[in-house]
Structure 1
Amino acid sequence: MITEVTLRLADNVKVKRVNEVMPISEYYRYFSQHIRSDKTAIFHNAIIYPPDFKKVRSVTFEQTQEPVTIASRLRPLVKPTLWQKQKPKIIASSVFGKELRKLHDYVDYARRPVMWRNYEASFNVASLKPIAYKNKSFVLEEFFIPVERFDNFYPELIAILKKHRVNVMNISVRHANRDSGSLLAWARTEVFAFVIYYQQSTDERSKEQVGVWTRELIDAVLVNGGSYFLPYQLHATSEQFQQAYPQAAQFFKLKARIDPENKFSNMLLERYRPETVQ
């Protein structure tokens, strides 16, 4: 339940998309020197490309006074193009599909469009479709690493994904500041979020295999002082959950006090709730 909200509004400024491709080993230095303290950087993320995970595309939307090249204030509600519909299936199908995606990005990112901030922020969630095909599903996992541990973590991430032959479509690296107020805060310090978009089969054996490499990744995250995103598949052990969220016991005690009949619950809370507060 949300009982109170405070909204911080931002001006709808003009932004220009700029990008640079670099070896993954250079990204943390590049981010620290060029993005981290840049007040004109409105949006930023980096794309780690499978299947070799050696290259990163840094994408930044910088505030600008240049005239817009896209006049619309918001993205129109239109049906996805044929490429947009087929893109996930093509990328997931083979190494060739992943290389084709790289080629498409090289062409697309050659442009440096200028647009309104709200235009870039108004993607329709329908653009994520299709989410699944017969017996297969496109899934997200997300892991949070203190920014200074980037170079320590990414080799472990890549090694685990390659060892288990995970069909990764894309890894997006995003930046988040410390969350100082939430008991189940995933950003206890300034972090990079590694968002893994992959395809898996939906049979029980495949789910079990996903659980194996997910727990390996969580172990690597914990060694580096990080955490993982809770609302996805519940593969983490209770010990991993407690280590990633050290204030969980306080959270469950508070919930038991304000919701003694447990009217508000979900699979995650039932999975990790201590026996003593049930």
Structure 2
Amino acid sequence: MKRFFFIIPYAILFGLSLQAFNFKLDHPIAEDISRLMPVKMKAIKAEDSEGAIKKVIKEAVKNGDSISIAGMQHSQGGQTLYPNGILLDMKHYDKILDLDVKEKHITVQSGATWADLQEYINPYGLALKVSQSQNIFTIGGSLSVNVHGRDIRHHALIETVESFRLLNAKGQILTVSREENSELFSSVIGGYGLFGVILDVTLQLTDDELYKIKTKSLNYDEYTSYFKRDVLQNDAVKMHLARISVAPGSYLDEMYVTDYYRANDQAQLSNYNTLNRETIVAVPKFFLGLSRYNDWGKKRFWETQETYMANIDGNLVSRNNVMRSDSAFMDYSNPSKTEVLQEYFVPIDQFTDYIDDLRKTLSHEKDFNLLNITIRYVEHNDESLMSYAKDDMFALVMLINQGTDNESKENTGRVIRNMINVTLDHNGSYYLPYYGYPTKTQLFEAYPRAEEFFQLKKKYDPDNRFMNLFYKEYHP
């Protein structure tokens, strides 16, 4: 139970991952993790070698087929699907190719997961600079959505990428970095698989460290000043996470924060650097389940989280263990419901006013089942053309339980578009990998370089060999 509250936004979806590919050999149907858009594919190709992947591309060109690229299928906006196309499943292309311990660089095939990397580098005293809180995702998929994590000194994943190799629609393999094919560097990372197949990646690593956990409760209108004063300006704080209540009585008001301070005695790291696995399942599963069904359950869940936070204050944990999680307890299977994510980015100085306006927007939405909001920090970065971090931002990751029927989708879409409008009114943006509820107008307002991005797609893939439903929905 020790770590389960940190990982809810991403971990909740892992329970459905075995359903992410619902394949039938004669008529393959593919679904992403949300199960909201099953798509009939022409074929699914799961390859484990560079030569086999090149062959798939060559045959697709010959036959005029579209290609979509998939990792763990946790993007929910059709980024891995296209009707009657070839789905290239990269999960078996997963070898660790090289580790330079001295320079702290690793080269890995794009189908490897963050868990694979952690298990490989942990014995060398090395750790990841940036990844999601959960480590089940593939490296290529994480690059394609330009993930961020809870490290407040290293922000978007693009910052940690030295180079990668890209297989394009012509069957050519290009080396891409800030110095070589730099235009592709800024468009492929955060480019949702639209420019080619990421084959392997060289990433920067850092040292594993021992952290001391400190927790604190506060009100939402105290958060910005607290973060600036006690977190951002304190070099000892390496990671940060916050959560704001969605329970009645404390709704979008009460918060707690979790800060990870570099421990004074790093010699103790060896006592904490064994990679942990979650073992307690029933208790967190029970309380999370309660929160799905009524306000009473949401209150109990929030109270349990507060108690848990007080109990872990002062605990020690390694960096690698902060950046990993198992999630069997998050298994959620319901034939008529699913759980989707939304993520909104708002400038840190606008957080208080933003929460006030968001609360007004959601106050009358009785059928909108918001389960959780986790908050992280992302520093301004515009290396990626489709960067979400237009300023120094707080990122609010929202977990939503909804029905899979058309009426439920329409209702959720309406509420989400309203929330995005509030976010845009506060000079914010939203994360693209989720279901296509936002309008095209909202996308172009949130991503002012989107036109340039779509033009580069036409330049580098004029035949639209690499396609997905996200591109179909939003390109001009």
Residue 362 of structure 2 is aligned to residue 161 of structure 1: yes
2:422 is matched with which residue? 220
Quick check: 2:245–2:372 contact (8 Å CA) kept in 1?
yes
Quick check: 1:48–1:57 contact (8 Å CA) kept in 2?
yes
The equivalent position to 1:26 in structure 2, one of 196, 215, 222, is 222
The equivalent position to 2:319 in structure 1, one of 111, 117, 121, is 117
2:203 is matched with which residue? 7
What's the TM-score, normalizing by structure 2? 0.54
Residue 300 of structure 2 is aligned to residue 100 of structure 1: yes
Gaps of 5+ in 1: none
Gaps of 5+ in 2: 1-196
Aligned-pair CA distance for 1:128: 6.8
Distance 1:33 1:245, change over 3 A: same
Residue 170 of structure 2 is aligned to residue 170 of structure 1: no
What's the TM-score, normalizing by structure 1? 0.91
Aligned-pair CA distance for 1:70: 6.7
Residue 453 of structure 2 is aligned to residue 257 of structure 1: no
Distance 2:202 2:353 in 1: 37
Distance 2:271 2:350 in 1: 38
Aligned partner letter, 1:198: I
Pairwise CA RMSD of aligned residues? 1.9
Give CA-to-partner distance per residue, 1:22-51, whole Å, 9 cap, x none.
111111111111111222212111100112
Quick check: 1:144–1:228 contact (8 Å CA) kept in 2?
yes
Distance 1:131 1:230 in 2: 24
Give CA-to-partner distance per residue, 1:175-228, whole Å, 9 cap, x none.
001122111111122111011112111111111011111111111111111111
| Identical positions, percent | 27
Distance 1:132 1:161, change over 3 A: farther
Instruction: Give 1 or 2 for the bigger CA radius of gyration.
Output: 2
The equivalent position to 2:254 in structure 1, one of 55, 66, 69, is 55
**SS state at 1:35 partner:** helix
Distance 1:94 1:138, change over 3 A: same
1:64 is matched with which residue? 263
Residue 407 of structure 2 is aligned to residue 208 of structure 1: no
1:137 is matched with which residue? 338
Distance 1:255 1:261 in 2: 10
Aligned partner letter, 1:235: Y
2:105 is matched with which residue? none
Segment of structure 1 superposing worse, 9-18 or 127-136: 127-136
2:177 is matched with which residue? none
1:234 is matched with which residue? 436
The equivalent position to 1:87 in structure 2, one of 252, 263, 287, is 287
2:352 is matched with which residue? 151
Aligned partner letter, 1:130: D
Distance 1:18 1:5 in 2: 35
Aligned partner letter, 1:54: D
Give CA-to-partner distance per residue, 1:53-98, whole Å, 9 cap, x none.
210101111111244697352113x565112333332111222211
**SS state at 1:234 partner:** coil
Aligned partner letter, 1:104: T
Distance 2:370 2:271 in 1: 32
2:400 is matched with which residue? 198
Segment of structure 1 superposing worse, 131-140 or 148-157: 131-140
Aligned partner letter, 1:234: G
**SS state at 1:164 partner:** coil
Distance 2:217 2:361 in 1: 24
Aligned-pair CA distance for 1:4: 6.7
